[in-house]
Structure 1
Amino acid sequence: MLYRSRRVETLLGGPLEAVTYSDLAALVGNPEAGESEDLDYKRELAASSDAQKAELAKDVAAFANHVGGVLVIGMAEADGLPSRVMDTDISDAHLRHLHQVIARHTTPTVRVEMRPVPNPDPAAHGKGLLLIAVPPSPQAPHAVTAVAQTAREALVYPRRGATKTDWLTETEVATAYQRRFSAAADRSRRMANVERELLVALPESNVPHLIVSLVPEIPGDMIINREAYRTAQAELLNTSLIGDDQYVLEGVRIGSRRYTAYGGDPRGLFYHQADLHRDGSGCWALRIATNTSTVDLQEFFWAEPDTVVWLLLSALHVLGTHARERAGATGTAVVRATLVAAPHHFPQGPARPNLHPLLPFRLDMMDPTGRRRPLSTQSCDYADSEAVTLLDDLTDEGPGLVQTASLLADELVQAFGLAEADPVTRDGQLRPAAWSSPLRSGVTQWAQSRGVGLLTV
């Protein structure tokens, strides 16, 4: 889910997506389960009258403007402690209504995730408990609409404080806006630093690379100790690329507030290196398998678009998984993909290597006879693209991951004169016909296993 909290997960006995009805019922009478700045209980949530709609908007905006939190609907409370399970409506229609209320009465719209937890008793069909998870928002402050004496509607800004809601003053609202814009600038600086630190540590190279970086909008805090390192090492050494069963990383070492994972031959064709930081940020540099050709006495490297998309999908998944699962980051992340003819072409990259040849780079196809089929209208030494995506989409390996990769890949290939990256689509599907035979089978099987649609044309 969008919201992760070690405190709440410890209290509930696991992550929100795994909590059962009995886990929640066991909160009744638990003195440690009282309402707090990140946890609230409500007996019901009709959200039908104007006052009820305003109350729901206020509750979710207050969490989003502070540290995030969870609303447990269908639980009565007494003096802040859960006192009795009072099953509520968890139908799809009711959940759609709640989403509409939040969208209508908060600005910017607060991002929430709702998880119905049905009562296992067959007689309680359509009833149960409802979890509404609200992550801390990088778009804070969020306002809710309220009736004012001097205007039909006014914007007010709630914030969760201890077990109640406070209202931000004008100065606090101005400060919150300043923090929002400063945070965006901070993320840009963070991404630049993460990329620079990896690039200067790469082995000297004169071949094309794909560099993928990620910075979560709400940072995490990865624990680094012996036990955590052993776990991370085992996980990373079992990393394979999308649709492939070959492990690509051969070593993991501890660095300053990070793990560095690497694999392949530093002097050879295949080499990958990634920095995975404690705050959930990460950067992965992947060498691209290329061919060389000569046209009009000009020699150049070229790679197939599906190779770039394949590496991009794989890197996004690994970086997203690190941010969410290892660092505990939540919500959205800024991701950037960069395609370079060699690392020194990156603006913050290493110095020009004393290696030859240093060739231009193109994107072309190989036809069934093994000959190059031109695609690019021009070579390009540096192309980049950027997007904001949900960490859940990257980690869960479904259509959302493909959509993010498509958005990034389209901008990359446009620098080479191509309109779009044919192997993937903006609506999260794959075009098997646009994948070369070495990759097509594995990627198609992966897509079918993850609910990713396949286009026949």
Structure 2
Amino acid sequence: MLFRSRRIEGLFGGLLDAASYQDIADLIGNQDAAEAEDLDYKAAHYTPDDKGREELAKDVTALANHIGGVLVLGMAEVACVPSKPRDVDLDDRHLRHMQQVLSSNTAPPVRYEILRKENPRSPGQGFLLLTVPRSPYGPHAITVPPTKPSRDVLRYPRRSGSKTDWLSEATVATAYRERFMQAGARDHRLAEVERDLVVAVRRRVTPNLLVVITPESPGDMTINQEAFARHRSELLQARPYLGTLDTPFGAVHVGPRRLIVDQPEYHGKGVYMQLHRDGSGAAAVPLTCHTEFDHKIQTVQADELVHGLLSALAFLAQHARDRAGAAGTVLLKASLVDELPSHPSSPPIARERTQYMLGIQAPGGPLTRGTLYCPCAQASVTALLDDLADTGGPLVQAASLLADELVQAYGLPEAHPLTAAGEIRLSGWSAKLNPAITTWAAANHVTCLE
């Protein structure tokens, strides 16, 4: 899901994509569900004329320029409180119209998701939810011609309570400056966190997967004697890999504005993580390699790579959200290295480098070993923190995007163990990992394909 809000989910009885028609109808008369800065009701579809297009673009953009929220179409309100269902048509024609209006009349285009909630007593009709996350790319403007006289070509709406305000020129200029400064700051922070990890494990000379995340809205994890005891107890009970009962972490230390989690029994070759106070995090996950052709070519299994990626993303996201209190989107970066000195951020090490190249081996399905070899492959995406921390289909989608970019550096079109739709391809998993991923998928309602 694009939009997550604990307040809205509390009103709707859970995740918005799982909410039923009745869950929304039950909001009638609930003062807590009154229109607010993150919630709006419309009794009918937006009209297809100029005024309707302007209103649709304005309402969606206003949410994206503020904290995000939900537009509920098909609900009447009295004094801002939901009062009566007014079921709207859920046909594709109306959805295509809204998609066309929003894609061509917002700049930059606003991200949103449409959810249909059909009335079981009236098929084809019900509530239509437009969910809009807070945008890190704001301020967004609406470009549809105004229906009232205006000198502005680009207009910037923002939600304010249950109404919409228009941003002044000074506010827009300030927001643009903050957008670019924050984007640069996040990129710098990601590079800083990655560099700290690489320096810490720089002497590893076998293949490793490095995963780094940085939240859009940083948190602030408390580190004192009492909090450290609580964090340490939690982390020592945690398992590094999803769906397995492998050896847990064996040591938790305090570092500069971070916690350091390690498996010392592996003598510097186990899973190693740095969990930063602001919610950023970094993980080094060792991978088993297979040597061929007189030790000059080494390969790693695609399913082991994907399993490590899924596990690290979930672990780091849960730290960011639940321990540090971060929110919003996160920048993700993954690197696959033959040995740590191959990473661009690695400091020089005075020793003779091992002369081999790294490849990817798929354990099943139509893919075979990649035709290209590279010492360091890297990939990056942006995702919603809650989607990763909730360890469901959206986590698989994000991991699929990263994994595809990594394996394409080796000549493979995609990472066969996952699909871009957030599914697990069981044919891409070896007998060793198949039980673990199947168990995890079933517990997290992730679809498995043969």
TM category (shorter chain) comes to 0.7 to 0.9
Give the direction of change, closer, same or farther, for the CA distance of 1:264–1:244 in structure 2 (3 Å limit).
Answer: farther
Identify unmatched segments of 5+ residues in structure 2: none
When structure 1 is superposed on structure 2, of 18-27 and 309-318 the one drifting more is 18-27
Secondary structure of 2:334's partner?
Answer: strand
**Would the aligned equivalents of 2:360 and 2:407 in 1 still touch at CA under 8 Å?**
no
* 1:98-137 map, 5 Å: 98-119=98-119, 122-137=120-135
CA drift at 1:446: 7.1
> Which residue of the partner structure matches residue 379 of structure 2?
385
- State the Cα distance separating 1:328 from its structure 2 match: 6.6
Instruction: State the 1:68 CA deviation.
Output: 1.4
Q: 2:357 aligns with which of 353, 356, 362?
A: 362
Question: Is the alpha carbon distance of 1:309 and 1:361 closer, same or farther for their aligned partners in structure 2, counting shifts above 3 Å?
Answer: farther
How many Å separate the matches in 1 of 2:275 and 2:291? 33
CA distance in 2, matches of 1:196, 1:72: 45
Aligned to 1:352: 349
CA displacement at 1:387 relative to structure 2: 2.9
TM-score by length of 2: 0.77
Deviations 1:350-402 (A, max 9, x none): 6738xx8852442257899xxxx99666662x332323345576542466245
- Give the CA deviation at 1:63: 0.9
Map Cα deviations across residues 309-365 of structure 1 (whole Å, 9 max, x no partner).
Answer: 443344334445555676676664432121234334434446738xx8852442257
Per-residue deviation at 1:129?
3.4
| Partner in structure 1 of residue 402 of structure 2 | 405
Deviates more, 1:147-156 or 1:386-395: 147-156
The 2-side partners of 1:175 and 1:276 are apart by 32
SS at match of 2:263: strand
Aligned-partner Cα distance in 1 for 2:123–2:99:
22
| TM-aligned CA distance change 1:125 to 1:108, over 3 Å | same
Q: TM-score, normalised by structure 1?
A: 0.76
CA RMSD of aligned residues (A): 4.3
Question: Structure 1 counterpart of 2:188, which letter?
Answer: R
Structure-1 separation of matches of 2:259 and 2:248 = 16
2:392 is matched with which residue? 396
Residue 302 of structure 1: aligned partner: 298
Contact 1:292 1:302 in 2 (8 A): yes
Corresponding pairs, count? 435
The 1-side partners of 2:369 and 2:88 are apart by 59
Tell me which residue corresponds to 1:267.
267
Q: CA deviation at 1:60?
A: 0.8
| CA distance in structure 1 between the aligned counterparts of 2:441 and 2:152, rounded to whole angstroms | 48
TM superposition shift of 1:438:
4.3
1:63-74 alignment, distance < 5 Å: 63-74=63-74
Alignment of 1:26-425 (within 5 A): 26-80=26-80, 82-89=81-88, 91-93=90-92, 94-119=94-119, 122-147=120-145, 154-202=153-201, 204-216=203-215, 218-219=216-217, 221=219, 237-239=237-239, 241=241, 244=244, 246=246, 249-250=249-250, 259-263=259-263, 265-267=265-267, 270-277=269-276, 279-292=278-291, 295=294, 302-306=298-302, 307-320=304-317, 322-323=319-320, 332-349=329-346, 352=349, 358-364=353-359, 380=375, 382-389=376-383, 394=388, 395-397=391-393, 400-401=397-398, 403-413=400-410, 418=411, 420=413, 423=416
Tell me the SS of whatever aligns to 1:206.
coil
Residue pair 2:417, 2:427 contacting (<8 A) in 1 also: no
Q: 1:117 to 1:365 in 2, by over 3 A?
A: closer
Contact 2:217/2:328, CA 8 A, preserved across alignment: no
Deviations 1:47-86 (A, max 9, x none): 4332122111101101111221222333333333x14122
Contact 2:306 2:399 in 1 (8 A): no
CA contact (8 A) 1:38 1:63 kept: yes
Distance, in Å, in 1 between the alignment partners of 2:369 and 2:82 is: 70
1:179–1:92 Cα change, 3 Å: farther
> Matches of 2:359 and 2:197 in 1, distance apart?
28
Contact 2:301–2:361 (CA under 8 A) maintained in structure 1 = no
For the structure 1 residues 193 and 95, does the alpha-carbon distance in structure 2 shift closer, same or farther, using more than 3 Å as the test? Answer: same
Per-residue CA shift, 1:187-215, capped at 9, x if unaligned? Answer: 21110122233334448533332111123
Alpha-carbon shift at residue 227 of structure 1 (Å) = 9.1
In structure 1, C-alpha distance between the alignment counterparts of 2:30 and 2:441, rounded to whole Å: 44
> After superposition, what is the alpha-carbon deviation per residue over 1:256-285, rounded to whole angstroms, capped at 9, x for unaligned?
6655443363416x5112234455432211
Q: For residues 230-281 of structure 1, what are the alpha-carbon distances to aligned partners after superposition, in whole Å with 9 as ceiling and x for unaligned?
A: 699658845464675536545556666655443363416x511223445543
Residue type of the alignment partner of 1:134: V
Listed as ranges, the gaps of 5+ residues in structure 1 are: none
